[in-house]
Amino acid sequence: MTGKSENPKAPTGDASENDAVAEYLRRNPGFLVDNPDLVVTLTPPDFRHGEDVIDMQRFMLDSLQKHIQSVTSREKKFLAIAEDRVAGFGRVQDGAILLLGTNSLRELVRAVTFDLPDVLDIEAARLCMVSDEASSGAHILAPEVANKLIGRKNHVALLEDSGDRRALVGMEKSDVKSMALIRLSNADKSHCGALALGSAEIDGFNSRQGTDLLSFLARVIESCMRRWQNDSH
């Protein structure tokens, strides 16, 4: 005698388990919205309409659309970050070429002050030094002030809302709202100054940013300074 075939789509748990699942979903009506990946595993009822009838297919479609929109939004953000990263690398590369083309410490200071802001698309830039024996026009920045701004053991400081500190590094422009300060060192690793970059955006430089490109630019400036620090022309 042939028995009834088992419905492969029937719940595998007993009635109490099914009731527990149903009760949990009633207490947590947003569960499937928060976990749209589970929706695609459900078997929807036949497409029906009518009073007090839930259109499960429409619910699943809406949930999937929201999930796709969320993924697309994240992908766009990641793409924008990657594009900004590439653009930033290109600007720093152009800045390095500019600085390496200088032929004296004075030219280096002028390039940092007048040309580098346009290349990096920022508001201001200053080369700060412990002393300016060559009269190059660099801003004098005492070591204790540099340590206060950057941190005694730090090499880079990203300062948001830095309006009250910009004058300390020779940035009198009121448009400077945030700064990046990168410590500069002599060949013997002793402190010799800092590169100060200013942005017109209050979070143009902020603690969430990477500092590798800024550090690279500072290393280029150190190399230039070691070549021209005794040149007064």
Pair (154, 222) in one structural domain: yes
Domain boundary pick from 49, 73, 100: 100
Helix (H) or strand (E) holding 198: strand 191-199
Instruction: Give the whole-number percent of the chain exceeding pLDDT 70.
Output: 74
Pair (122, 142) in one structural domain: yes
Question: Averaged over 61-88, what is the pLDDT?
Answer: 73
**Residue 128, amino acid:** C
Q: Which domain holds residue 66?
A: 16-100
Strand order in the sheet with 178-185: 139-140, 124-129, 191-199, 178-185, 156-159
Domain boundary pick from 48, 77, 100: 100
Q: What is the pLDDT of residues 156-206, one digit of tens each?
A: 999 987 767 888 888 876 789 999 999 998 877 788 889 999 999 988 898
